[in-house]
Amino acid sequence: MDRLVFLVAAGLAHGAVLALFAQSLVIVWRANRVINFAQAALAVVAVYAAFAVTAASGSWWLGAAAGIVVGGLLGAAAERGPMRLVPTDTPLPGIIVAIGLVMILQAGLAIAFGPEYQPVRAPLPERPFVLAGIPVLSPYDLFVLVVAGLVMAALALGFTRTSLGLQLRAAAFAPETARLLGVRVPRMITLGWVLSLATAALAGLLLVPTELGLHPHALDALFVQAFAVAVIGGLDSPAGALVAGLLVGVLVSLVSGYLVAAAAPLAVLGLLTLVLLVRPGGLFSAAKERAA
């Protein structure tokens, strides 16, 4: 029983990071109707920037703030630069450009910082609390859950309860009508990318201390799992990203704990296949159309 409780608690913490990164993919999909396959490479650049600021200042918090800002700037640069120049009538050019960005950024990071893993310390202790003899979440796990929850709640409120959120949704779902109503659609699309990459950078910052360390490919596995989460929840559904992220996080933790870690990707693939067979648009696809 204590093992089950520990694995579920650990899975929720990992699932919160998955949900946050999946949320970033949902944001850019809602803003521009594209899957940004360079999301992990752009986010890891922001994490390296945070790592450099932390090393120079000695403050993880200052480094995290710098990483989030750099992530947002990278999102704006990517959208205003290569992603805006490619044709949008077919997704293939965007995918090819994104893959090119991934190769350039990861090679550049390896040249600048080296290919070795850089150890990154968490800002809070990672030793789990023990309740009734059962190890549960660590202070850092609780911090991850709280931060991820607050950010996703703020994004949800911003998209549904503010004028800016209404303009972002209008620019994504009815750009021609939005233009006629005075919405600056290109500016809204850029803002969507800024929010998306800032969120992805935060997810990377929260994940790296719990993994082997910082590396040019440190967020590749996160992107793959988060993409599966976004599809399972529904690419247009922020709520779906949250629920599916927690579900996949717990699933990965249980499979890794009771079977072997190598079986976890197969479990995620099985869940993804099952959802696509039953609900091809994702678990929350119908809800999103009404919300749009």
**CB atoms closer than 10 angstroms to residue 243:** 18
pLDDT at 172: 78
pLDDT at 227: 93
**CB atoms closer than 10 angstroms to residue 11:** 23
pLDDT tops 50 at residue 288: no
pLDDT tops 90 at residue 120: no
Range 174-194 average pLDDT? 88
The amino acid sitting at 227 is: F
Name which of 14, 22, 36 is nearest 284 in CA terms.
Answer: 22
The amino acid sitting at 240 is: G
Token representation of residue 150:
């607050």
pLDDT tops 50 at residue 267: yes
pLDDT tops 90 at residue 167: no
The DSSP symbol for 219 reads T
What are the start-end ranges of the H helices in the chain?
2-32, 39-57, 60-80, 82-85, 92-113, 139-161, 163-173, 175-180, 185-207, 220-233, 238-258, 264-278, 285-291
pLDDT tops 80 at residue 14: yes
pLDDT at 255: 93
pLDDT at 286: 59
pLDDT tops 90 at residue 195: yes
Using an 8 Å Cβ cutoff, are 63 and 128 in contact?
no
pLDDT at 106: 92
Name which of 16, 12, 37 is nearest 224 in CA terms.
Answer: 37
pLDDT tops 80 at residue 282: yes
* pLDDT tens track for 201-229: 999 999 998 887 899 999 999 999 999 99
Q: Which residues contact 287 (CB under 8 A, 6 or more apart)?
A: 234, 237, 239, 240
* pLDDT tens track for 58-82: 899 999 999 999 999 999 999 998 8
pLDDT at 87: 78
The amino acid sitting at 168 is: L
pLDDT at 291: 46
- Rg of the chain over CA atoms, in angstroms? 19
Token representation of residue 61:
């918090």
- Proportion of the chain above pLDDT 90, given as a percent: 48
